[in-house]
């Protein structure tokens, strides 16, 4: 199920504390560019394990956000939208029905931010 968000929808989501934004790039990429404001970083290969195995307390302690429930709106982002799309499919199979992909990713974010 391809649920996507664009730049404007992401800006709105950043104002809503009930929406979890997850950047799935590697730590080295985040260190190089920074991350989307309001997002947490869980590298792509770790997402399934984190969502399945971390308790609510462990998740909150590690990321400073509430662990998402199956009906929490979650937006995944990466550099260009490809990896986040794969992660989106993975968590949808785990039962997270409101998993979205920011299809433009960091490249789109950075481009639009420079124009503002």
The catalytic residue positions are 78
- CB 48 within 8 Å of CB 90: yes
Cα(104)–Cα(47) distance, integer angstroms: 20
Query: Angle at the Cα of 103 (from 16 to 24), degrees rounded to 5?
Result: 75
The Cα-based distances of 107 to 49, 52, 60, 71, 97 in angstroms read 27, 29, 28, 28, 26
* Alpha-carbon gap, residue 28 to 115, rounded angstroms: 26
């Amino acid at each position: 199920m391809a649920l996507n968000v664009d730049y404007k929808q992401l800006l709105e989501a950043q104002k809503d504390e009930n929406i979890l934004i997850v950047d799935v790039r590697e730590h080295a990429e985040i260190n190089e560019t920074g991350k989307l404001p309001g997002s947490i970083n869980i590298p792509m290969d770790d997402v399934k394990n984190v969502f399945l195995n971390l308790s609510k307390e462990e998740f909150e302690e590690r990321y400073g956000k509430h662990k998402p429930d199956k009906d929490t709106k979650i937006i995944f982002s990466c550099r260009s939208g490809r990896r986040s799309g794969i992660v989106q499919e993975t968590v949808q199979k785990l039962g997270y029905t409101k998993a979205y992909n920011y299809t433009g990713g960091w490249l789109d974010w950075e481009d639009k931010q420079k124009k503002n």
